[in-house]
Amino acid sequence: MLVFWRIVAGIGVGAASMLSPLYIAEISPAAIRGKMVSINQLTVVIGILLAYFSNYILADVENNWRWMFTSGGSGIALFPVRLLRPESPRWC
């Protein structure tokens, strides 16, 4: 089960890594398009940094791998929010 869900998480992260900048580039005005995509990359790097810090804090906790793995599931809460996004202008 652990391997299966790790694969599912990897596919989700891979898809988000490709689709997020694409969507941002499509909906951003041309004057700030590069800035918006750069901010997306900055938030990804900050998220990775926070993951390292949280894993460092959890390093001495019993069954720490379970807490570390479970903390990645918080992204599931963002799934319904995708319905609130506006459509891309290219596909309207």
Q: Report if residue 43 sits inside a domain.
A: yes
The domain tally of the chain equals 1
Q: For residue 27, count CB atoms less than 10 angstroms from its CB and return exposed for 0-12, middle for 13-18, buried for 19 or more.
A: middle
Q: Report if residue 41 sits inside a domain.
A: yes
Q: Give residue-wise pLDDT tens across range 7-46.
A: 988 898 888 888 889 889 888 888 999 999 999 999 989 9
pTM over 0.75: no
Q: Give residue-wise pLDDT tens across range 36-85.
A: 999 999 998 998 898 889 888 888 888 888 887 777 777 777 778 878 88
pLDDT at 41: 92
pLDDT at 11: 92
Residues 6+ away with beta carbon under 8 Å from 26: 88, 89, 90
Q: Report if residue 77 sits inside a domain.
A: yes
Q: Report if residue 91 sits inside a domain.
A: no
Domain span including residue 11: 2-85
